[in-house]
Amino acid sequence: EAGVAQSPRYKIIEKRQSVAFWCNPISGHATLYWYQQILGQGPKLLIQFQNNGVVDDSQLPKDRFSAERLKGVDSTLKIQPAKLEDSAVYLCASRLPGLAGLGEQFFGPGTRLTVL
């Protein structure tokens, strides 16, 4: 089966510009996550979707970050305006719904963002 797809793989922008990342989860995976991984650290959750509804966005800096999953499949994460400290790898992950996918998440290759 196809894995989690993300694009672009790399993005370089200047501070105060905007950027968007796209994620297509594994077919049938109702739960989708976005994580931020700063160099040398473990990934940190930004937002979790169940189908097209937000389950947890408590760690999302809502003044500049937004995310949507309009049809319960693909998702987009946007940053506007970007800051230097947003330089990181943005990871998308998905899992099966309910107990069938208990805990186990499948990760995409990530988008490496560099803010200059």
Contact set with another protein (CB under 8 A)? 4, 31, 33, 35, 40-45, 48, 50, 55-56, 91, 93, 95, 99, 101-110
- Least distance in angstroms from the C-beta of 47 to another protein: 10
Q: CA 61 to CA 71: how far, in whole Å?
A: 23
Give the nearer residue to another protein in terms of CB position, either 25 or 108: 108
- Least distance in angstroms from the C-beta of 15 to another protein: 26
Give the nearer residue to another protein in terms of CB position, either 74 or 81: 74
Place of tokens 């996918």: 101
Residues 6+ apart with CB under 8 A from 111: 6, 7, 8, 9, 10, 11, 21, 89, 90
Q: Which two tokens stand for residue 20?
A: 């968007």
- Least distance in angstroms from the C-beta of 12 to another protein: 18
- What's the burial of 2, exposed, middle or buried (CB within 10 Å: 0-12/13-18/19+)? exposed
Give the nearer residue to another protein in terms of CB position, either 76 or 105: 105
> What φ, ψ does residue 8 adopt, rounded to 5°?
-70, 175
Give the nearer residue to another protein in terms of CB position, either 17 or 105: 105
- Least distance in angstroms from the C-beta of 31 to another protein: 7
